[in-house]
Amino acid sequence: MERSRAEVVMVIVDLINSCSNDKVAHAALACIGGGFAERVRAAAEEKGVSVGKFVAMAVRDFASRSDEAAQEALRAKVVRDDQPLLRGLREVLQVALERGPFVFDSEAMAATPPYAFSAARENALQYH
């Protein structure tokens, strides 16, 4: 099933807003499961944080640092997927794992709700 551009943008907004929460992020990773989830768990352990925190921080990092090209690449990957939110999360995490360490600034992340700095949310508003 191919989704409209606006639907895909809203999936990305939902991904960012929901998976910026540690518990939701942990549950979403559990839904992905398998060897990929194990890789994420190992990376979280290496950072000394919970799996949920690691996933949430990777999602927030994407939200705060992604440009239009990165968002377009993510949209292209989820547009036809049966589980677009999980596919989007997997893609965001894959980039985080490949890119290597990102900065964990817990105070800044705790003080700023994800929707306040989400470039994807602003883009979504253009299409509605």
What predicted TM-score, i.e. pTM, was given to this entire model? Answer: 0.78
pLDDT tens for each residue of 55-76: 999 998 888 888 888 888 888 8
Characterise 34 by phi-psi region: left (phi > 0), alpha (psi -120 to 50), beta (else). Answer: left
Is residue 114 pLDDT above 60, yes or no? no
State the pLDDT at residue 1: 57
Which residue ranges make up each domain of the chain?
A: 2-99
State the pLDDT at residue 65: 81
68-78 vs 119-126: helix crossing angle, rounded to 10: 70
Is residue 78 pLDDT above 90, yes or no? no
What mean pLDDT comes out for the span 96-100?
83
pLDDT tens for each residue of 11-52: 788 888 889 899 999 999 999 999 999 999 999 999 899 999
The number of beta carbons lying within 10 Å of the beta carbon of residue 67 is: 9
